[in-house]
Amino acid sequence: MALPVEAEHASGNEDFDSPRKIVKFFVVKKAEHEHAQKAELASFEEVMLPHLDAAHNLAKWLVRSEQDAQDVVQEAYLRAFRSFAGFRGSNGRAWLLTIVRNTSYTLLKKNRAVDLTTTFDEEIHAMGHESVSPAIILEHAEDADLMKNAMDELPAEFREILVLRHQEDLSYKEIGDILKIPTGTVMSRLARARGKLKEYLTDRVSQEK
Amino acid sequence: MNCEETTNLMDAYVDGELDPITSLQVERHLRECSKCEQVYEVDTAVAHVVSQAAPYYRAPTELRERIHSALRDAIGPSTIADSARENQLLASRTPPERRNVFSDLPWNRLALAAAILLAAIVASSLFPRMSAPTSDQFLAMQLIASHVRSLMANHLTDVASSDQHTVKPWLDVKLDFAAPVVDLSNQGFPLIGGRLDYLANHSVAALVYQRRKHFINLFVWPVESGTTRATKAVSRQGYHLLHWVDSDFNYWAVSDVSASDLQAFKEQFEGQLRTH
């Protein structure tokens, strides 16, 4: 950095026309700028680091590998910091999760993941699993492995919507904002995602018998 | 409500996302229809199992550290890049100065003035956020200023009428949205008139209501997606501001009436709007 040398010369010279004055001006402004950046980083971390678990959880469900998830989260935090000046809302978690999701999809697309969306089984509701009893489904309420396998078999768009609804307890409106889809689509996609899970659980039950 | 309608709304019902009236209709149907009741119980069970059993992957501690230092690094390089740019700027300005030959020529001063101006531009673009108030504070300041101006400049209304059927059409032709206008005379907040105003980069409708000797400015503009729904009450410089949002519009009521009067005003306004 060449500036400090110039700055030394500037001392004692009060002539406003001097270019050294301008250098001094820059040195002072640069110090202020660095100070402002530190303050901004502190306020960014205060607002966004509390949502680190949520960010990691969503990334892990989307990209699956722990290493990729951590890379995604780090990249998402850097992106979030760069656009923090544009953050206006009060819902820091939803804002951060939007960025985590976008970053995850960038990676998934790069890796050419084939499971981003699904078009099959649109008629889940018509399939009639009404015969299964709620008690049988509730037997799995403690079975984390089963639920992990069940959800991992779903396409990414189902995994993310289940995470946002059931783990982050976000409203349809907030989910719609994150996924950039209308509230009605949030409802139908959630219905399809849960329909698939119901199917999986029912199949498991009949296999066990 | 029949079985098909109920099935279509089932997920929103399970998630508590239906409006109270529709929710009640679904509830009524479930009480009568055991088939739908069964579907409901299965869906609730699935929702419960996902919430309970799906693993939540908390971030490992080292990730927090990693991000913390990555953010610190992110500040560093950009600072170096900035100073390189500054050096470049200075290098292009300083040589003629050092020779001290042209120092008395007027264009030289112009060049210096340009350099200072440039420095100011660079500096201001480097930290625009430093002293800028948050958008909400800024909006509150604008709202109060607009309210005060409307009282001082004797420009309270563009259209003075206590008749909502006069005020509303007047506003409708001036704005690109149809602002809701209701008269609240019977509730103790007579409508005085309406006005056009400009706030937060929008043309907005300002509805003016009276409360005894006081005026209430109600600023209305269409809601943008992503707006938080929270009702907000702010007090500043002796004014009370009350903000709320419905499905279509942003509302900011500004007045020197008490905060509780303003709250009552909001409730009356919303109540009257519903009966419309």
Provide the pLDDT confidence category of residue A39 given band limits of 50, 70 and 90.
Answer: confident
Match domain A124-208 to its CATH number in 1.25.40.10, 1.10.10.10, 3.40.640.10, 2.40.30.10: 1.10.10.10
Q: What is the model's pLDDT at position A89?
A: 67
A93 pLDDT above the threshold of 50: yes
Write out residues 101-130 of A within 8 Å (CB-CB) of B.
125, 129-130
For an interface test with A, give the residue of B15, B48, B98, B245 to mutate (most A CBs within 10 A).
B15
User: pLDDT tens across B215-252, in order?
Assistant: 899 999 998 877 677 788 887 767 789 999 988 899 99
B43 pLDDT above the threshold of 60: yes
- Comparing A118-127, A182-191, B126-135, B256-265, the range with the smallest average pLDDT is A118-127
Cβ contact, residue pair A142, B70, below 8 Å: no
Closest CB to B119: pick one of A22, A70, A78: A22
Amino acid at B220: V
CA angle B231, B235, B238 (to 5 degrees): 150
Cβ contact, residue pair A137, B112, below 8 Å: no
Interface ipTM above 0.85? no
Q: Which residues of A touch B82 (CB under 8 A)?
A: 30, 33
Cβ contact, residue pair A22, B130, below 8 Å: no
Q: How many CB atoms lie within 10 A of CB A78?
A: 16
Pull the structure tokens for residue B34: 């055991």
Provide the pLDDT confidence category of residue B266 given band limits of 50, 70 and 90.
Answer: very high
The nearest alpha carbon in chain B to A70 belongs to B63
User: pLDDT tens across B95-138, in order?
Assistant: 444 444 444 455 566 666 777 777 766 666 555 444 445 677 78
A209 CA: distance to closest CA in chain B (Å) = 19
User: pLDDT tens across A59-89, in order?
Assistant: 999 999 999 999 999 999 999 998 888 786 6
Average model confidence (pLDDT) for chain B? 80
Cβ contact, residue pair B54, A134, below 8 Å: no
Can you give chain B as a three-state secondary structure string?
CCHHHHHHHHHHHHCCCCCHHHHHHHHHHHHHCHHHHHHHHHHHHHHHHHHHHCCCCCCCHHHHHHHHHHHHHHHHHHHHHHHHHHHHHHHHHHHHHHHCCCCCCHHHHHHHHHHHHHHHHHHHHHCCCCCCCCHHHHHHHHHHHHHHHHHHCCCCCCEECCCHHHHHHHHHHHCCCCCCCCCEHHHCECEEEEEEEEECCEEEEEEEEEECCEEEEEEEEECCCCCCCCCEEEEECCEEEEEEECCCEEEEEEECCCHHHHHHHHHHHHHHHHCC
What is the domain partition of chain A in residue ranges?
17-110, 124-208
What is the domain partition of chain B in residue ranges?
3-53, 61-95+106-125, 135-274
Q: Which fold has domain A17-110?
A: Rna Polymerase Sigma Factor; Chain: A (1.10.1740)
CATH code for the structural domain at B3-53: 1.10.10
User: pLDDT tens across B24-34, in order?
Assistant: 999 999 999 99
Match domain B135-274 to its CATH number in 3.40.50.1820, 3.30.200.100, 3.40.50.300, 3.90.79.10: 3.30.200.100
For an interface test with B, give the residue of A139, A140, A160 to mutate (most B CBs within 10 A).
A140
The nearest alpha carbon in chain A to B65 belongs to A74
Contact A138, A132 (CB under 8 A): no
Whether the CB of A5 is below 8 Å from some CB of chain B: the reply is: no
